[in-house]
Amino acid sequence: MAIALITGITGQDGAYLAKHLLGLGYKVYGAARRNSNYNTERLEILGVEKDIKIREFELLEESNIRNVLEEVKPDEIYNLGAQSFVAASFKTPLYTSDVTGLGVLRILESLRSICPESKFYQASSSEMFGKVLETPQNEDTRFYPRSPYGVAKVYSHFITQNYRESYDIFACSGILFNHESPLRGNEFVTKKIAKAVARIKKGKQDQLKLGNLEAKRDWGFAGDYVEAMHLMLQANIADDYVISTGETHSVKEFIQASLEVADIPFEWEGEGIDTCAISKKSGKKIVVCSEEFYRPAEVDSLLGDSSKARKILGWEPKTKFASLVDLMVKYELENN
Ligand code: NAP
Ligand code: G4F
């Protein structure tokens, strides 16, 4: 039975990947940082919590990482752990660089001496393309990160590549574009919108406050994307792959589609920071913009070209934008 170690097991992708690997017959270890109460909620929602062996794991602490690798000796390591919220990285740039950037080096150094045969997956990000230099973005597009998070991901991407080339480690980076699900963290824009729209529908919330509604993202479904992570580690050659849908939509379009799923009639008014959505029923503003959610530097538009993954890995996204919005808003209407 193959053994997988997933860091960031308590996060969105950790939960979907664990479920996928268990379904393929893997023995799954989940690496989670110490907490007064491990946050296993997502694993419980997917019904896999009892099948995963949790080990204490802190990306800031090399001795801790070494102990886990010595005990588990994994065939495959999926490094999904990170300070992953872009907006927070402007407030905690040093911490983000340490966890999201140097954390990867700590794992690679430990892997190199303890289990050099382990295959390694690094969670790279479309945030590395930042102020994009071409559209769509593929594996050869130059990076231009726009946040401390993006810069840390560029570091971790290149250190993964460097260890692959220097020490012949089977190390891959998946350059994943935004992927969402009902298990997405509450601060991310899609979850924030889906949750608020359901609450507005039920009369539990009056208004949703957001930042830049013009930003565009290539949004896919996390359940589809974790399959690509696994496929990368089964390929003949270790390499890097863009994973995306090839469609881009604005935050405004996501709101529009969400209000339609919840059957809330509305109309748009204003432009830029004065944009708002007015309920046709109450005449009140149900969506407004606020300076507090704008970022010091923005990634305006992302659109991925995942033809390499389609060709070499045989991977393709199954969930389109409309189905993703439907899935997320209906989940909130039923469970919120
Ligand atoms: P997420 O839900 O925010 O999960 C992040 C995980 O990292 C959580 O389990 C968190 O643990 C853990 N973590 C944070 N700091 C840690 C530390 N110091 N030591 C050990 N673990 C730590 O993120 P996600 O959406 O699942 O994304 C997974 C990975 O893919 C991340 O590396 C992210 O940057 C990257 N990525 C995500 C996307 C996307 O659209 N989702 C796109 C491209 C790349 P706690 O539960 O204790 O906080
Ligand atoms: O949902 P977001 O916070 O995701 P963002 O910044 O694109 O980052 C996510 O995707 C990356 C892949 O490209 C990952 F690497 C990263 O870990 C994370 O998963 O914001 C999306 C867009 C941004 O342009 C933001 O400015 O939505 C805009 N936005 C507008 N109002 C908002 C809000 N974002 C958030 N979180 N909250 C708002 O109120």
Question: Is this prediction's pTM over 0.95?
Answer: yes
Asked whether the predicted pLDDT for residue 336 surpasses 80, the reply is no
| Nearest-angstrom CA–CA distance, 81 and 57 | 10
Give the mean pLDDT of the chain.
98
| Ligand 1 site, residue 24, Cβ cutoff 6 A | no
Ligand 2 atom 35: the closest Cα is on which residue?
A: 189
Residues 196/205, Cβ–Cβ less than 8 Å: yes
Instruction: Tell me what the mean pLDDT of segment 187-208 comes to.
Output: 98
Secondary element (H or E) of residue 155: helix 148-167
What pairing do the DSSP bridges indicate for beta strands 216-217 and 249-250? antiparallel
Residue range 130-180, pLDDT digits in tens: 999 999 999 999 999 999 999 999 999 999 999 999 999 999 999 999 999
Q: What is the pLDDT of residue 198?
A: 98
Q: Which atom of ligand 1 is nearest to the CA of 59?
A: 19
Span from the CA of 107 to the centroid of ligand 1 (angstroms): 15
Instruction: Tell me what the mean pLDDT of segment 281-303 comes to.
Output: 98
Enumerate residues 6+ apart whose C-beta is below 8 A from 132: 141, 144, 299, 300, 301, 302
**Which DSSP string corresponds to 48-85?**
-GGG-EEEE--TT-HHHHHHHHHHH--SEEEE--S---
Residue range 15-70, pLDDT digits in tens: 999 999 999 999 999 999 998 888 899 999 999 999 999 999 999 999 999 999 99
Ligand 2 atom 31: the closest Cα is on which residue?
A: 211
Label residues 267-289 b or e (16+ Cβ within 10 Å = b).
eeeeeeeebbbbbeeeeebbbeb
Residue range 230-275, pLDDT digits in tens: 999 999 999 999 999 999 999 999 999 999 999 999 999 999 999 9
Q: 283 — alpha (psi -120 to 50), left (phi > 0) or beta?
A: left
Phi/psi of residue 119, each to 5°? Answer: -85, 145
Q: How confident is the model at residue 285 (pLDDT cuts 50, 70, 90)?
A: very high
Span from the CA of 12 to the centroid of ligand 2 (angstroms): 15
Q: What is the pLDDT of residue 70?
A: 98
Residues 7/79, Cβ–Cβ less than 8 Å: yes
| Nearest-angstrom CA–CA distance, 139 and 141 | 6
Q: What is the pLDDT of residue 174?
A: 99
| Ligand 1 site, residue 79, Cβ cutoff 6 A | no
- List beta partners, residue 285: 278
**Amino acid in position 23:** G
Span from the CA of 115 to the centroid of ligand 2 (angstroms): 35
Span from the CA of 189 to the centroid of ligand 2 (angstroms): 6
What is the maximal distance between C-alpha atoms in the chain?
Answer: 65
Q: How far is CA 229 from the centre of its chain?
A: 12
Residue range 88-122, pLDDT digits in tens: 999 999 999 999 999 999 999 999 999 999 999 99
- Tokens 């954390």 -> residue: 103
Question: The tokens of 328 are what?
Answer: 């997320």
Residue range 74-97, pLDDT digits in tens: 999 999 999 999 999 999 999 999
Please report, to the nearest 10 degrees, the dihedral formed by the alpha carbons of residues 228, 234, 239, 244 taken in order: -10
